[in-house]
Structure 1
Amino acid sequence: MKKRLLEKLENARQYTLSVANAMPADSYTYTPDAAIWSFNELLHHIGYGIMWWNENYMLQQQADWNPPTVTKDPAATKAYLSECFDALQQSVEKATPDEKIIDGFYATLDHVTHHRGQATVYLRCKGITPPDYSEYTY
């Protein structure tokens, strides 16, 4: 079971970073509408969501929603995303998969998938074809 969770996590990591890499650095401030996050803010939210879900559901340590300041450039945002995925990976590696852990893991990936889908729409709005998802299917 743990091996399968780690495989799913690695696929999510690789596809999310591929989406992050598809947007040119000078377009990370892009937003399709003034009322929503920029691409950079959206990716930062994905990262913080991973950390928050990991703490609350994987580690089962109650944490308030208190996001850190948004990273300011694409390199920092991608590094932050990687750190967040690393933290979740470490939690999965240490965990004894039970129903709560498995539910928390999949809830985390659902959140990532939801917002990563938004990020692919941002790419399309900029005329960029998102990375091929079939390379990351499980």
Structure 2
Amino acid sequence: MIEPSVFAAHWLGHRHLTRRVIAAFPPDALFTFSPAPPLRPFGEMVWELHGQTAYTLRGLLDGDWGEPTWDTLPGTDRAAVLAAWDGQTARIETGLPGVPAERYGETLTLSWGEMLVFTAVIGSIDNEVHHRGQGMVYLRELGTQPPDFWDRS
């Protein structure tokens, strides 16, 4: 199993890159631009990621893997999105290194099936990578060069 501090650094690298993608969006396009129906605006995807990460952190850090609660969109202001993103990233920075390595090997029964804690957390990160890629395509459609996908500093 991977060391918690190494895993935290990996996840944080994804968070930093996704933040740069959010910040690259023109404020008026974050919640309005969609290249084609039925695709959602990137801002809606970001709030989905925020909710999924909140659920994952609640389980990982607090042991509460109950039913997820998907909040309505807290707002459509880019500054609010970035502030929420930064707050959640800070929770990962401070909380994740203290998670015992054994916890990742525990088996859970979630609403979408039985899986290891590690699998649930990786699924959250995979979803972020997926939606970040969509956001990068959206930026190109808007005529904006997205951040380099390999730079997770």
TM-score bracket for this pair, using the shorter chain length: 0.7 to 0.9
Pair 1:17-2:14 in alignment = no
Q: How far has the Cα of 1:24 moved from its partner?
A: 1.4
**Cα 1:6/1:38, change in 2 over 3 Å:** same
Kept in 1, the 8 Å contact 2:18–2:132? The answer is yes
In structure 2, the residue matched to 1:67 is 71
SS at match of 1:134: coil
**Cα 1:64/1:102, change in 2 over 3 Å:** closer
Pair 1:89-2:96 in alignment = no
Unaligned runs of 5+ in 1: none
Q: How far has the Cα of 1:85 moved from its partner?
A: 2.4
Q: TM-score, normalised by structure 1?
A: 0.84
Q: How far has the Cα of 1:8 moved from its partner?
A: 0.5
Letter of the structure 1 residue corresponding to residue 19 of structure 2: L
* Runs of 4+ residues over 6 Å off in structure 1: none
Q: For residues 111-133 of structure 1, give each alpha carbon's deviation from its aligned partner in whole angstroms, at most 9, with x where no partner exists.
A: 21111111111112112221012
Structure 2 CA distance for aligned equivalents of residues 122 and 52 of structure 1: 27
In structure 2, the residue matched to 1:41 is 44
Q: Which of 37, 49, 53 pairs up with 1:50?
A: 53
Unaligned runs of 5+ in 2: 107-116
Kept in 1, the 8 Å contact 2:4–2:96? The answer is yes
Figure out how many residues of one structure are paired with residues of the other and give that number. 137
Q: TM-score, normalised by structure 2?
A: 0.77
Q: Which of 118, 123, 136 pairs up with 1:120?
A: 136
Q: How far has the Cα of 1:57 moved from its partner?
A: 5.0
Structure 2 CA distance for aligned equivalents of residues 59 and 102 of structure 1: 15
More helix by share: 1
Q: For residues 76-120 of structure 1, give each alpha carbon's deviation from its aligned partner in whole angstroms, at most 9, with x where no partner exists.
A: 011112222233334313310222443333222112111111111
Alignment RMSD: 2.1
Which entry has the higher C-alpha Rg, 1 or 2? 2
More strand by share: 2
